[in-house]
Amino acid sequence: MADKPRWAPLKVYLTAEVIASPQVLLERTMDYLQGINPKTGMERVPATERVQLMKVVCEAKNKGEWLGIIRRFVSVVDKDAVKGQGGDGASEGDGTDDGSEE
């Protein structure tokens, strides 16, 4: 039953505290975009999730509205997780998706 460990819905990871701090959000997003699990500092982020995040980041940069875009991404990721895995709901957070490419 326990396949590979999977990252949880992003909204589990994006606490109000993190969203309220653009600096923390940016740092975690940069780690995430580089494929580093912000929670452990080591585990690799699935490439498909990084691609999804990059699209969101680019859209956010173009519009200049990070938090709105992040919240939209969170709801999309959450729906995908619910639809894609009918498991125990024990998966946990991703990275954040604020990322600014520098």
Q: From first to last of the 102 residues of the chain, give the pLDDT tens digit.
A: 444 444 444 554 555 555 566 666 667 666 666 776 666 666 666 777 777 777 766 666 666 666 665 666 555 544 544 444 433 344 444 454 555 544
Which pLDDT does position 46 carry in this prediction? Answer: 72
DSSP string computed for the chain: ---S--BPPHHHH--HHHHH-HHHHHHHHHHHHTTB-TTTSSSBPPHHHHHHHHHHHHHHHHHT-HHHHHHHHHHHHHHHHHHH--S-S--B----S-----
* Rounded distance between C-alpha atoms, residue 101 and residue 37, angstroms: 17
- Tell me the domain boundaries of the chain: 14-84
Which pLDDT does position 99 carry in this prediction? Answer: 52
